[in-house]
Amino acid sequence: MGLNIGIIGFGGMAHWHANNASKIEGVKFVCAYDVDPKQMESAKEMGIRPCATLEELLGAEDINFVLVATPNQVHKELVIKALRAGKHVMTEKPATLSVADWDEMVAESEKAGKILTVHQNRRWDADYRTMREAVESGVLGKVYSIESRVFGTVGGMYGWRAFKAYGGGMVLDWGVHLFDQLMFMFPDKKVVDVKAELMSLLEANKEVDDYFKVMLKLEGGPVLQVEVGSYAFRALPRWYVIGDNGTMEIMDFAMEEGGITRPRFGAEGNVAPVVVQTPAGPTRMMAPRPPETREELPLTKSDATWTTLYKNLVDVVDNGAELIVEPKGVRRVLRLMELVFESAEKGHSIACEL
């Protein structure tokens, strides 16, 4: 059968899904509903049947799957309606605005016996997978620090994302993806401490964050840092990873710059034998490591692709396969974001067991 999909909310992300996921075997976009007539005309032009009402879409017998791609604050209401209509559901991220809401949504999915998942497509970003595969291979030794960053230069938040009531802000826009990547990477390690700084640099109403920096401490390590800003003109590396046998840097999503540097132990001159003058001043410990004591490795780029998410959904619906973006992991990320907001509001770190 595959996925015969009805889309609720036919804005920018819905267009992306319809243009791209429709190319995957077993995925068909059948109908759509949006409150904006212009968006319904756009759906029609793409060969997707426009529905006059939400009820018409939910009652459509030729769909078995609903994609919710609306502003964040109505995800819960629409997901529950779709589940009660007997449809499998995937909602855009964030799944909803609180753990309590998510628990209600999961209860409805269990009652209906239907799939409930979230569009966490960035679990298959090639830059993330390249970093993760390097860490898990052991090439860096024991890893004790992972830094994840995304910077833009436009400044401020776009449209409804600038308003708290709609679930706006960078934590809920980009943070949810970056936190999900790291929690997916370390499913069995507890987060024991969360420290967050949120800022509103350019937002006129100051309702939401357009910059944040979060530090997460995992039980037994490593320390994780996530930083996102919409107004930075000289970006730091997308990924920066430090292990006891090397350091990894990935500059951006394209991975055109970066690599791994490892020490060559046992070579002469690991550390300068005397204090030397460097750009950092007179020092021995911060003197440059001699070239013969370093090993430079190129990035081994992952061939991961977001299409895996949709292929998994087809397999779940048709064959009862295990859901990759499952409710437990979604709940963990939602709870983490609650702790991020709590830490920022209180101005100190929050001890936890997550």
CB-based contact 330:118 (threshold 8 Å): yes
Res 153 pLDDT > 60: yes
Report pLDDT for 314. Answer: 98
| Average pLDDT, integer, range 42-67 | 98
- Give per-residue burial for 41-72: e unless 16+ CB within 10 Å, then b: ebbeeeebbbbeebeebbebeebbbbbbbbbb
With respect to residue 218, please indicate whether it lies within any of the assigned structural domains.
Answer: yes
CA–CA gap between residue 68 and residue 92 (Å, rounded): 6
Helix (H) or strand (E) segment spanning residue 5: strand 3-8
Helix (H) or strand (E) segment spanning residue 177: helix 176-185
Same-domain check for residues 165 and 68: no
157 vs 354, which has greater pLDDT? 354
Report pLDDT for 279. Answer: 81
- Give per-residue burial for 161-183: e unless 16+ CB within 10 Å, then b: bbbeebbbbbbbbbbbbbbbbbb
Res 203 pLDDT > 90: no
Q: What is the DSSP string of 199-211?
A: E-SS-TT--S-SE
Cα distance between the two ends of the chain:
38
Same-domain check for residues 68 and 184: no
| Average pLDDT, integer, range 117-133 | 98
With respect to residue 144, please indicate whether it lies within any of the assigned structural domains.
Answer: yes
With a CB cutoff of 8 Å and minimum separation 6, the contacts of 208 are 157, 161, 162, 163, 164, 168, 169, 170, 200
With respect to residue 320, please indicate whether it lies within any of the assigned structural domains.
Answer: no
Residues in the chain: 354
Same-domain check for residues 8 and 60: yes
| Average pLDDT, integer, range 324-330 | 98
CATH code: domain of residue 191: 3.30.360.10
Predicted confidence band of residue 266 (pLDDT cuts 50, 70, 90): low
CA–CA gap between residue 128 and residue 238 (Å, rounded): 9
Which residue segment(s) compose the domain that 16 sits in?
3-119
Report pLDDT for 271. Answer: 60
With a CB cutoff of 8 Å and minimum separation 6, the contacts of 320 are none
Helices 327-346/176-185 angle, 10° precision: 120
Same-domain check for residues 143 and 174: yes
pTM: 0.95
Same-domain check for residues 250 and 129: yes
Same-domain check for residues 169 and 114: no
With a CB cutoff of 8 Å and minimum separation 6, the contacts of 181 are 122, 123, 125, 128, 148
Report pLDDT for 270. Answer: 58
At 178-192, the pLDDT tens digits run 999 999 999 999 999
With respect to residue 29, please indicate whether it lies within any of the assigned structural domains.
Answer: yes
Q: What percent of the chain has pLDDT over 70?
A: 97
With respect to residue 277, please indicate whether it lies within any of the assigned structural domains.
Answer: no
- Token pair, residue 33, equals 């509903």
Report pLDDT for 268. Answer: 52
With respect to residue 180, please indicate whether it lies within any of the assigned structural domains.
Answer: yes
Q: Report the number of distinct structural domains present in the chain.
A: 2
Give, in order, the Cα–Cα distances in Å from 189 to each of 129, 145, 170.
19, 14, 25
Closest alpha carbon to 353 in 223, 148, 216, 182? 216
CB-based contact 66:87 (threshold 8 Å): yes
For residue 214, which phi and psi values (nearest 5 degrees)? -130, 135
